Amino acid sequence: MSEKGFTLIEMLIVLSIISLLLFITVPNVASHNSVIQKKGCEGLQRMLEAQLQAYEIDKGSPAASLDMLVTDQYLPGDYVESDGTIICPDHRVITYVNGAVSIDEPTNESAQTVNQ
């Protein structure tokens, strides 16, 4: 009687190789996640600047706040928080003050609100 199958040693070798591959790839993927979120926030900032320029071209004057962009449908309403800021996926805050768009590190209060 000859049964064909994997031996225990062969299974351990295969599992060791799979574990090693996971050990190598998981930290690499996690480190790229923060880069992706940072790039997403910078892309959101550029999109916001483009929408502000489009608003100014269409209306003849710059928008006083981000809420004006939402009201005139240049931005979806779910982008802008109640305090007039935009929260990025990496929890940084995009603000629009005196015609300038900037990305700031979050305050403790806004980071806690986003995490809830």
Reading the chain (116 residues) residue by residue, the pLDDT tens digits are 567 777 899 999 999 999 999 998 888 777 788 888 889 899 999 999 999 999 999 999 999 888 888 889 888 878 788 888 888 888 899 888 888 888 888 665 544 444 44
Q: Where are the domains of the chain?
A: 8-115
Reported for 12-17, long-range contacts at CB under 8 A and 24+ positions apart, including other chains, are none
Residues ≥6 apart with Cβ < 8 Å to 40: 88, 89, 90
